[in-house]
Amino acid sequence: MELKKIDNYRWELPKTGAMRVPGIIYATASMLKDQDQEEPLKQVANVATLPGIIKASLAMPDMHWGYGFPIGGVAAFDWESGVISPGGVGYDINCGVRLAGTSLVEKDVRPRLEELVNALFQNIPSGVGSTGSIKLSAAEEIKVLKQGAKWAVSQGFGTDSDIEHTEDNGCMPNADTDTISKRAMERGKNQLGTLGSGNHFVEIGVVETVYDQNAARIFGLFEGQVTLMLHSGSRGLGYQVCDDFLAAMAKHINKLDFDIPDRQLSCAMIQSKEGISYFNAMACAANYAWANRQILMHRAREVFSRSLGIGPNALAMNLVYDVCHNIAKKEVHIIDGEKRLTCVHRKGATRSFPPGSEALCDAYRSVGQPVIIPGDMGTASYVLVGTQKAMEETFGSTCHGAGRVLSRKAAKKACKGRSIQRELENKGILARWTGRSTLAEEMPDAYKDISEVVEVVHGAGISKKVAKLKPMAVLKG
């Protein structure tokens, strides 16, 4: 597809055919040379055909092919005249990342690293269909879906400070459990406090480089510091919510007065019964995910304390931030100089809100939102900070990770004859995993260069580098 260069980090996909707006892609020229980019670019164009879309169909530098929307896609729709699409959120609703700092430095942990990662592996259930020790009654599950991370804290899994440092305080208030199917509820009963499979992980890292001393200080980060990062979502419950509504909207779309170029873009007008039902069901799954990550971090705190023989106060494992990257949010944005109520879809994209944003907790309002960008398990991850330019250009959005360049099938083929575990150990990284093919599917070569991805969003000004983290140990599903 023909792209027009705007600058070194932005490209325009011109408005043609049924597109209502152009596409804007954040990438370097080298990223766009790959033939595999053709399919996600078509998806950018397809999203641009949907009613009520505002300004542009956007794609971040970690863009790759997804269901309907590209992963790395961002699209905002007018709240009154636009659509909402499950494909614009994804199957793992509120899949997200949280990062915690500690008082420890690498020399405190390295001698006992194997013991520590083994203990995390034993105490955090992972893998496809994994279940945990929390068995929810029907009444308690409803509370989880309505209260999110606050429910977890009320049960002793963490502190009020964790809530303050979580996007939206870990709860979307519009959750309506009457919109959730019995099958979804059943799948959620026994999976709270579990990691899941695939690219979900728990990672022990070290702050290798600080780029912005002021922001790092406010976030509680310093060079040499040991960190904990985890990536998980709404598990089987969120998957089922997406599946249920995709099936329903595939039928509903036939009743609407517009055509879609791809059935995977099945959607509903936001203000319709179907649209509101999905938005409220999605909120239930999002709240489940926030509760899940809250419990996972609390479990990790306990493991660190026990394994290292250090009390919680001395450990000081404090949450830096929890961000989600598969979500649709009701947000006010300035469009052509006027405030406008929108529904922003971020699929494999993360909020990047600037200093002064009312959505941020008091601690971060002076500097901007922490943005957590995990890489592959063999290289690095980054912490960035949100900017005003992101609010002006991308509805306050940035990338969410490295982005795949190889499918899971292709990754398994590419690593035949190699020992990914040994390659990681040679870099000083310990790995533990559950699925038989997990390490092969998630090998570093399967992902884009995280530093190049981050350089794009930093150079474009839609988020700014604060710190670089290197992995020490990783637990994969």
pLDDT at residue 158, rounded to an integer: 97
Instruction: For residue 303, count other CB atoms closer than 10 A to its CB.
Output: 21
How confident is the model over 54-72, as pLDDT tens digits? 999 999 999 999 999 999 9
> In the 8-state DSSP scheme, what is residue 70?
P
Token pair for 170:
């870990």
Task: Read off the pTM.
Answer: 0.97
| Residue 232 to residue 475: CA distance in whole angstroms | 12
The answer to whether residues 319 and 42 touch, using CB atoms and an 8 Å cutoff, is no
| β-strand pairing of 57-64 with 23-26 | parallel
| Residue 378 to residue 424: CA distance in whole angstroms | 6
DSSP letters, 11-27, are EEE---TT-SS-EEEE-
CA nearest to 476, candidates 406, 378, 390: 378
| Residue 115 to residue 395: CA distance in whole angstroms | 44
pLDDT at residue 436, rounded to an integer: 78
| Catalytic positions | 400
| Residue 170 to residue 161: CA distance in whole angstroms | 12
4-476 is classed CATH 3.40.30.10 = no
| Residue 131 to residue 117: CA distance in whole angstroms | 20
How confident is the model over 138-194, as pLDDT tens digits? 999 999 999 999 999 999 999 999 999 999 999 999 999 999 999 999 999 999 999
Burial of 278 (0-12, 13-18, 19+ CB in 10 A): buried
| Residue 239 to residue 93: CA distance in whole angstroms | 7
pLDDT at residue 324, rounded to an integer: 96
The answer to whether residues 292 and 234 touch, using CB atoms and an 8 Å cutoff, is yes
Contacts of 419 (CB under 8 A, 6+ apart): none
Contacts of 128 (CB under 8 A, 6+ apart): 196, 197, 434, 435, 477
| Residue 232 to residue 295: CA distance in whole angstroms | 11
Token pair for 197:
């499979």
> In the 8-state DSSP scheme, what is residue 2?
-
Q: Where are the alpha helices (DSSP H) in 134-209?
A: 138-147, 149-154, 160-164, 182-188
Per-residue pLDDT of the chain (477 residues; tens, 9 = 90+): 799 999 999 999 999 999 999 999 999 999 998 778 899 999 999 999 999 999 999 999 999 999 999 999 999 999 999 999 999 999 999 999 999 999 999 999 999 999 999 999 999 988 888 888 899 999 999 999 999 999 999 999 999 999 999 999 999 999 999 999 999 999 999 999 999 998 999 999 999 999 999 999 999 999 999 999 999 999 999 999 999 999 999 999 999 999 999 999 999 999 999 999 999 999 999 999 999 999 999 999 999 999 999 999 999 999 999 999 999 999 999 999 999 999 999 999 999 999 999 999 999 999 999 999 999 989 999 999 999 999 999 999 999 999 988 888 888 888 887 999 998 999 999 999 988 788 899 998 989 999 999 999 999 999 999 999 999 999 998
Strand partners, 98: 230, 322
Phi, psi of 227 (to 5 degrees): -125, 165
Burial of 237 (0-12, 13-18, 19+ CB in 10 A): buried
pLDDT at residue 36, rounded to an integer: 81
DSSP letters, 252-296, are HGGGSSS--S-GGG--EETTSHHHHHHHHHHHHHHHHHHHHHHHH
The answer to whether residues 464 and 420 touch, using CB atoms and an 8 Å cutoff, is no
